[in-house]
Amino acid sequence: MASARQLIEQRITAALDQVLEGQDAKRDPMLKQTQDPKFGDFQANCAMGLEKVLGTNPREIAQRIIDALEIDDVCDPPEIAGPGFINLRLSAAFVGKQLQKMLADDKLGAGNDGDTKRVVVDFSSPNLAKEMHVGHLRSTIIGDSICRTLEFVGHEVMRRNHVGDWGTQFGMLLEYVKRTQPQALDDPSSFRVNDLEQFYKDAHALFQSDEEFKTASRQSVVALQSGEPEMRTLWKAFCDESLRHCHEIYDRLGVKLVDMGESAYQPFLPGVVAELQEKALAEESDGAICVFVPGYTNRDGSPLPSIIQKSDGGFNYDTTDLAALRYRVDEENANHIIYITDRGQASHFDMMFKICRMANWVNDDIELNHIGFGVVLGKDGKRIRTKEGGSIKLADLLDTAVTKVKELLEDSARDFDPDKIDEIANVVGPASVKYADLSHSIESDYKFDWDKMVSFEGETGPYMIYAFARIAGIGRKAGVDFDSLSPETELILGHPTEITLAKSLLQFPDAIAQVANQLKPNAMTSYLYGLSRTFSTFYDKEHGVRVIDAEPESARQSRLQLCNLTRKVLRTGLSLLGIDVLEEM
């Protein structure tokens, strides 16, 4: 189903074809939503740029466009404003018909145009040597939201957790496993670590203080990399236990991922280096094998190398990322690959993309994106830390969110049942963390503010869940099962708040398209918050309309259907953010 915006753009483009009569000029409608509803719903600015092409003033051009425009079934008669803007207002009849199409559609009018892609999304990607901390928060929930949206509109999405499960530090960790839990050799599933962070600290402390342990650790690295069975057994036991910790967090966040770490690409690394050398893209520099991408320099102006093989013969993350990208194209047949990391890695991924294109491993039909996000800051504007200065564990962060919501509920005037408090807090707690993060621009840093985050007022996760529960409560009070309402119920849009709510609902497919195309989940949070505020005005006793006791019955059914569609849109939109809802609060 084409959105209202798409329909208008199509019609204006067709009108421009007539007006321009084959002339070489852009047919861009230049359509945007109006900021003030008194000027209509959309404004087309296309006439402004055609003055030289058509040799007349923009107002005359605007009139020609309107004369050629077939839009009566969508809009009220268009109006020309200012120097040549075309203002368009959706007709009530069109809005009602579009809403009924949304009600009859499982995807509420959203979807792609049939151009489905195989998309790899690389996100979260913790280092298995430590527990997940607040630094992994943004990649995990931004990636999950983008995956959910792309899946919703019909793309085939492969969620990849490119975990750090290889490297020199594993020698230290494996030697420590062998000494503290030797039974892991005979029974790898018996290996357990309650606190990975402490395990790492203890292993590192022994590495620093015990020369014999340090030597043995280095030997373990060699044994692991050469495929020695004992080291591989310990390595797998450690990785499995580390991933168990990660997936406990993923389960709490409702995030699904397929683990495919750095180790998966190790067999391909020598071939990556050899082929880049054969194609004269890699050269030796100070004993290392490097690729110099044109345009990249160090601070002193010298060429910046991408080191794909170190002077000691070892490989690093540049080599692994090149191998992974090539694997995703050749073996997984991806035609769109998205990486979600902190913005500090922007240059790294840009170089990787360019190297792959230089090597002809990636053609122009394959889209490559790096989404670089800002960091999470404390109220002091510095990176958020524990009191001891360490990174906050993600598990502790989620526990705190649940606890704070419980405290708010216990202190409220309502007499909540203890079990109900637990149910609400376990949904609202994680939602508060997710919504606060996703509502910010991805590229920006943001301050972590518990008071604002768990508040039931303002643009927050708790407020959005309450907005949904409030509508569910309207259905109960009206004695109506929203899910059983017929999508063919006639929608009567007479009151200004009915019309405003209806038009806001029609913008849902555009909000989804914006997230899917621009990969920015905050477009969805902004839309949902605006919709919830619009619904509040619609249901307001003073400024809105009566719903539960509305008369005549046709008006009551129409307004309940508007409530129902708002409920569906909120539930769907929040689910695309990875946020569950509650029928009662």
- What the chain holds in terms of domains, given with CATH numbers, is 4-90 (3.30.1360.70), 169-255 (no CATH), 461-576 (1.10.730.10)
Q: Is the confidence at residue 30, as pLDDT, over 70?
A: yes
Calpha distance 324→265 (Å, rounded): 6
Within 10 Å of residue 141's Cβ, how many Cβ atoms? 26
- Pull the structure tokens for residue 185: 């050799």
Mean per-residue pLDDT, 424-443: 96
Residues whose CB falls within 8 Å of the CB of residue 506, separated by 6 or more in sequence, listed in order: 3, 4, 90, 95, 98, 99, 102, 109
Quote the pLDDT of residue 24: 81
Q: Is the confidence at residue 389, as pLDDT, over 70?
A: no
- Pull the structure tokens for residue 328: 């995703």
Q: Is residue 36 a contact partner of residue 29, using CB atoms and an 8 Å limit?
A: no
What is the end-to-end Cα distance of the chain in Å, rounded? 34
Mean per-residue pLDDT, 53-74: 94
Calpha distance 52→280 (Å, rounded): 50
Residues whose CB falls within 8 Å of the CB of residue 533, separated by 6 or more in sequence, listed in order: none
Quote the pLDDT of residue 26: 85
Calpha distance 525→459 (Å, rounded): 8
Quote the pLDDT of residue 564: 97
Within 10 Å of residue 414's Cβ, how many Cβ atoms? 8
Quote the pLDDT of residue 406: 94
Q: Is the confidence at residue 388, as pLDDT, over 90?
A: no
Q: Which is nearest to 376 in space by CA: 457, 449, 464, 462? A: 449
- In single-letter form, the type of residue at position 95 comes to V
Mean per-residue pLDDT, 251-261: 96
Calpha distance 206→99 (Å, rounded): 66
User: How does pLDDT run across 524-577, given as a tens digit for each residue?
Assistant: 999 999 999 999 999 999 999 999 999 999 999 999 999 999 999 999 999 999
Quote the pLDDT of residue 385: 73
Q: Is the confidence at residue 419, as pLDDT, over 90?
A: no
Calpha distance 400→394 (Å, rounded): 10
pTM of the full structure: 0.93
- CA-based Rg of the chain, rounded to a whole angstrom? 29
